Structure 1
Amino acid sequence: MSLKKLWTALRGATNEGIEAVADSQAIRILDQEMREAKKELQSCDESLTRIMAKRKLAEGKVSALKADIETYTNHAIAASETDEALAIECADRVSELESTLDVEQGILDSFLSSEKSLKANISKAKTNVRRMEQQIEQVKATESVQQAQVAVSTRHMGANSKVKTALSSLDRIKEKQKQRSAELDVAEELAAEESGSSLDSKLKAAGIKSGASKSGSDKLAQLLASKKG
């Protein structure tokens, strides 16, 4: 392999290693960001609670001012029939209350606007956080499954390789056993030929009894012939 190809291979392996580290860091960074986002949302919920409480107090003030305005308006109308000075005093009071009401109504409207905007933003942020959490969990689950699949595949390939090696060894053992059995058969044949048992076996197979003893009549004839001679 040339130095250029070797450098390219090493650089590719290095890049893969860097990417793997970066990917693992990315998940940890996202987890940390999710924790921080949840803390921020918790702070937002607390702020919303305070704004809603102030809005409720402002609503109480506005309602009370409206009630007072209605009351002193009725007093001014009633006093105008009997005591003009008192009627004017009640009218002044209504004017003051209306001015105060304008201020408090402005404050209430501000609280209502802030509350509405904050609720919408918090709801949107919570939806985004939930969506991001789901994506992170999906990525983690997919990564775990793929790692398990790689491990199983690696073990399977290793197991297949070991099985193939074992089968090859078994075939070699069988061949050796066949060879040894054939060698033993040949050795027995050679030993039989040396002892003459091989020829006896052949005669026996042909129906000929090698070295069989003669019958009594044959032996008698042989003895008589030898005596006459």
Structure 2
Amino acid sequence: MSLKKLWTALRGATNESLEAVADSQSIRILDQELRDAKKELQACDENLTKIMAKRKLTEAKTKSLTSEVETYTNHAIAASEKGDEALAIECAERVSELETNLEVEQSILTGFTTSEKTLKANIAKAKTNVRRMEQQIDQVKATESVQKAQVAVSSRHMGANTKVKTALDSLERIKQKQQQRSAELEAAEELANEESGSSLDAKLKQAGIQPGGEVKGSDKLAQLLAKKKG
């Protein structure tokens, strides 16, 4: 391999390694961002709860003031009809004061209602985005785990095939050695028999020349009849 090709290969391997590190770091960053976003959303929910509570209190105060305005208005009219102008004016002044307070509370209520509506919409959008991000991160992690498992299984399968082939080759060599050893033992036994004369004795015995050799049925019958006559 030329130096240029070697450098290209090394640079490619380095780039892949750096990309793998960067990808892993990116997932960790997204995990942290996701945790931070959830904390912020939790804080937003708490703030929304406070705003809703204040809006309800303001609503109750507004209703109370409205009721008081109506009550003192009726009192002012009743006092005027009875000819008690001083009391009627005092009730009218009270109505004016209550209406001023009511106007302030209604303005505050409008602000709380608007803020609550806006905050709810923004929180809903943020929660949707967080769920999408969480889903994508989980999907990436799951895919990464599956692919790593597939690579591991593939590598092990290739390694197992190599090991099995090596084992079969070894088994074949063992068989060949055993066959060679058996042949050598048989040859050694033949040589030993020839040296001791046992090989010749076996041939004579098989021919019926030596005692214990094979005897034909007719010869055996003649032997038995001879013994009886004797």
Same fold (TM over 0.5): yes
The question of 1:147 aligning with 2:148 is answered: yes
Q: Which residue of 1 aligns with 2:165?
A: 164
Q: Which moved more, 1:17-26 or 1:134-143?
A: 134-143
Within 1, Cα distance between the matches of 2:84 and 2:196? 163
Deviation sequence 1:77-98 (CA, Å, 0-9, x none): 2122213454344334433433
Q: CA RMSD in A?
A: 2.6
TM-score, length-scaled by structure 1: 0.78
**What is the CA distance between 1:19 and its match in structure 2?**
1.5
Q: Which moved more, 1:92-101 or 1:16-25?
A: 92-101
TM-score, length-scaled by structure 2: 0.78
Q: Which residue of 2 aligns with 1:178?
A: 179
Q: Which moved more, 1:70-79 or 1:168-177?
A: 70-79
The amino acid that maps onto 1:123 is: A
The amino acid that maps onto 1:146 is: Q
**What is the CA distance between 1:52 and its match in structure 2?**
1.7
**What is the CA distance between 1:109 and its match in structure 2?**
1.0
**What is the CA distance between 1:125 and its match in structure 2?**
2.0
Q: Which residue of 2 aligns with 1:225?
A: none
Q: Which residue of 2 aligns with 1:48?
A: 48
Q: Which residue of 1 aligns with 2:75?
A: 75
Identity, in percent, stands at 79
Within 2, Cα distance between the matches of 1:108 and 1:156? 71
Within 2, Cα distance between the matches of 1:18 and 1:26? 12
Within 1, Cα distance between the matches of 2:46 and 2:180? 89
The amino acid that maps onto 1:78 is: A
Within 2, Cα distance between the matches of 1:193 and 1:46? 107
Q: Which residue of 1 aligns with 2:219?
A: none
The amino acid that maps onto 1:154 is: S
Q: Which residue of 1 aligns with 2:109?
A: 108
The amino acid that maps onto 1:6 is: L
SS in structure 1 of the partner of residue 74 of structure 2: helix
Within 1, Cα distance between the matches of 2:125 and 2:50? 20
**What is the CA distance between 1:74 and its match in structure 2?**
0.6
Q: Which residue of 2 aligns with 1:25?
A: 25
The amino acid that maps onto 2:176 is: E
Within 2, Cα distance between the matches of 1:67 and 1:192? 134
**What is the CA distance between 1:195 and its match in structure 2?**
4.3
Deviation sequence 1:124-168 (CA, Å, 0-9, x none): 323332343343334334433433343343333323322221221
Q: Which moved more, 1:41-50 or 1:103-112?
A: 41-50
Within 1, Cα distance between the matches of 2:24 and 2:2? 33
Question: Paired residues, what number?
Answer: 211
Deviation sequence 1:63-121 (CA, Å, 0-9, x none): 12201210121122212221345434433443343333222212101101111221222
Within 2, Cα distance between the matches of 1:186 and 1:85? 147
Q: Which residue of 2 aligns with 1:219?
A: none
The amino acid that maps onto 2:47 is: S
The amino acid that maps onto 1:10 is: L
Q: Which moved more, 1:173-182 or 1:54-63?
A: 54-63
The question of 1:136 aligning with 2:137 is answered: yes
Q: Which residue of 1 aligns with 2:188?
A: 187
Within 1, Cα distance between the matches of 2:8 and 2:79? 101
Within 2, Cα distance between the matches of 1:79 and 1:191? 150
